[in-house]
Amino acid sequence: MSTAALSTLASARGTGGFTGALSDLFWRRPRFLLFLLLLPPLLWLGIIYLGSLFALLLQSFFSIDEFSGLIDRTFTLRTYAQLFQPANYDIILRTVVMAMLVTLASVAVAFPIAYYAARYAKGAAKAFFYVAVTLPLWSSYLVKIYAWKLILAKEGILTWGLGKLGLLPLLDAWLSLPMVGGNSLSLSATGTFIVFVYVWLPFMILPIQAAIERVPPSLMEASADLGADAGQAFRTVLLPLALPGVIAGSIFTFSLTLGDYIIPQIIGTSRLFIGQAVYAQQGTAGNVPLAAAFTVVPVVIMGIYLWAARRMGAFDAL
Amino acid sequence: MTAAVSFQNVSRHFGTVRAVDDVSLDVRPGEFFAMLGPSGSGKTTCLRLIAGFERPTGGTVSIFGERMDTVPPYRRPVNTVFQDYALFPHLDVLGNVAYGLMVKGVNRATREARAREALALVRLDGFGARRPAQLSGGQRQRVALARALVNEPKVLLLDEPLGALDLKLRESMQEELKLLQRSLGLTFVFVTHDQGEALSMADRVAVFNEGRIVQAGTPEEIYERPATRFVADFVGSSNVLAPPLVESLTGQHRFASLRPEKIVLSGAGAIAGEVRSHAFLGATRRLLVQTPQGALHVTLPSGAALPPVGTSVTLHWSPADLHLMEDAR
């Protein structure tokens, strides 16, 4: 509609000027307003985000010329085949197992906290909960990780505390185990795991808390009334109904662990995770197609994960 | 005879609020017992004390002679139909009804067969595969009923179960509930703020106000002989006569209730007044008559001659219909 037409409209209705005419237009065509509001974020998502994702996908079907180091832009699955070489496959397996363990541990730690916040905390206690849960997010991620490096170090407070409790033999026994062990906690996969759980925990607590808040308390009473003890009520009512929140939280913890390249670099063994492999391949090694192929792995895994969750009925209560 | 539900000096305080204040009552086995009162009168808290969702601050709740002091809700021989029905949204209707049997470890074939029977009992055969969200309010209410009954409770607790239904459905459900209670021979404890519902359905009614039972008795007793002004006000549309008027009529300085249908416009007039308004109520008409001592309602059969608004009438009643009562809340 032209400005002239708009102003005729405005005078016909006796409203004030261009903004009045615009308000009238939005009132008559609410979808037009919605369109205007959604256009910028859609452009952002569509072009910048999905576009770069598509470019990434495209890159992963290219390969690198072993001699010249140049990218060969012919479609091939050769780069994907490289993912299944033992060295690369190990990286994927290690990362996925770590992401799964971190997610499970986060759910176990987050659920009671979220339950307390949703069911018991009121007023000031609730405000304290939000501050306490989000406080770690206020400080830099790097600062927190270096702090953890000190906590977990051989001379750190955790080892010191365990020593005072006479539990050092237990720690040493744990650290001498293959896979999870190392010279100290800060140089072991266990350390990496602890820090991952700590850093991603808020992303698990908040969605679970929101999900539990949506479960009417009368449902828990109904379940008790029908003969379910606390454990049965949790398994048959609360958990199924809070599952969308658990899934939402696990999307965060799972995908953030799959993609992180800083935590395993600062804390843990020298064995690589997917994020570090991507970082190395696109940087020093200059193998962008392999980096892209590595990046596709978490996307595919998350896709499978969500599909499986849906099949299991995790979103039925939504 | 052991009472189905017995309260002995039961109190439940929330901080300084006495939600239930020293209540004693006995519900007889096989009885349809209504707890009637305005919101906040303590009737729902009493129901929750029976179900076990609340624990008494003082006193004892017993169910069929067994003290419930330390018995959690999941071990009490009662089941509840919740006000919002509280159906599990992630289970289908059959799963909802079979839930109680499932947590008790009854095998799938048996519990589903019994759940189907319970659904048939509330006339919902064939609805087993639906989700609660796909049902109407009345159907949800029946599912909630079936879900409770399938566990064969000794006492069925109903918390304003008809509150969310529209008038017509509510009336048909009232009859249905009554029939069901008769045929099963079960003890029903029913909470409602609707005096019509309580009087029409219950064998006995306890009227609650401010955490106490003001009067307990049959619907006839409650309606004909209200113990206090509060009961007369709350149950039905009785005329409450102030002490000066009652004193002039009976010589006693007391409040009294007078049912509008007991007043006639013929015979020797006791009080003169002027007709202020008419209301058509189907089988009857209700008149508001202004007298020097206050306004009175008069109910006349629809066929009776109707004095026009503005005319003077004389009101007459038999002294026996004037029921003296306490000034208590």
Cβ atoms within 10 Å, residue A194: 20
B75, B87, B90, B145: best to mutate for the A interface, most A CBs within 10 A: B90
Structural domain includes residue B87: yes
Domain boundary pick from B198, B232, B266? B232
Of B232, B267, B289, the one marking the end of a domain is: B232
Do B86 and B195 lie in one domain? The reply is: yes
Over the stretch B60-72, which tens digit does the pLDDT of each residue have? 999 999 999 899 9
Residues B126-170 pLDDT 10s: 999 999 999 998 899 999 999 999 999 999 999 998 887 888 888
Task: Report the number of distinct structural domains present in chain B.
Answer: 2
Q: Cβ separation of B74 and A241 shorter than 8 Å?
A: no
Q: What is the DSSP letter of B308?
A: P
Of A209-213, B105-109, B156-160, B282-286, the poorest mean pLDDT is in B282-286
Q: Please check the confidence at residue A110 and state whether its pLDDT lies above 90.
A: yes
Burial A217-229 (b: 16+ CB within 10 A, else e): ebbbbbbbbbbbe
Task: Tell me which chain A residues have a C-beta less than 8 angstroms from the C-beta of B87.
Answer: 222
Structure confidence at residue B272 (pLDDT): 85
B190 and B300 both lie in a single domain: no
Residue B241, helix vs strand vs coil: strand
Q: How far apart are CA A29 and CA B50, in angstroms?
A: 56
* Interatomic CA distance for residues A232 and B317, integer angstroms: 63
Helix axis angle, A124-138 to A86-119, nearest 10°: 160
Q: How far is CA A208 from CA A116, A158, A241, in A?
A: 11, 29, 10
A226: CB partners within 8 A, 6+ apart: B74, B79, B99, B100, B103, B147, B148, B151
Read off the pLDDT of residues A2-45 as tens digits, 9 standing for 90 and up: 555 555 554 555 557 888 888 888 889 889 999 999 999 999 88
Provide the CATH number for the domain around residue B288: 2.40.50.140
Q: Do the bridges between strand B78-81 and strand B66-67 make them parallel or antiparallel, or are there none, so unpaired? A: unpaired
CATH number of the domain residue B138 falls in: 3.40.50.300
Q: Which residues partner with B256 through β-bridges? A: B241, B324
Instruction: Tell whether B228 and B317 lie within a shared domain.
Output: no
Domain presence at residue B170 = yes
Number of other CB atoms surrounding residue B178 within 10 Å? 16
Show the domains of chain A with their CATH numbers.
Answer: 18-51 (no CATH), 84-311 (1.10.3720.10)
State the pairing for strand pair B32-36/B204-209. parallel
pLDDT of residue A3: 54
Q: What is the ipTM of this complex?
A: 0.84
Instruction: Verify that B279 and B209 share a domain, yes or no.
Output: no
**Inter-chain contact B103–A223, Cβ cutoff 8 Å?**
yes
Dist CA A281 CA A286 (whole Å):
6
Q: Among residues B200, B232, B264, which one ends one of the domains?
A: B232
CB nearest B86 (choices: A218, A229, A240): A218
Q: How crowded is residue B128: how many other Cβ atoms within 10 Å of its Cβ? A: 18
Q: CB contacts < 8 Å between A and B, how many?
A: 67
Integer Cα distance of B142 and B124 in angstroms: 8
Name which of A223, A313, A317 is nearest B89 (Cβ-Cβ): A317
- State residue B313 phi and psi, 5-degree precision: -135, 165
Q: Are residues B11 and B92 in the same domain?
A: yes
B73 touches chain A (CB under 8 A): yes
The residue of chain A with its CA nearest to that of B89 is A317
Give the CA distances from residue B254 to residues A215, B239, B317, B329, in Å, rounded to whole numbers and listed in that order.
52, 14, 18, 14
Q: Does residue B177 share a domain with residue B36?
A: yes
Burial class (CB in 10 A: 0-12, 13-18, 19+), A36: exposed
Residue B174 placed within a domain = yes
- The whole domain housing B70 covers 5-232
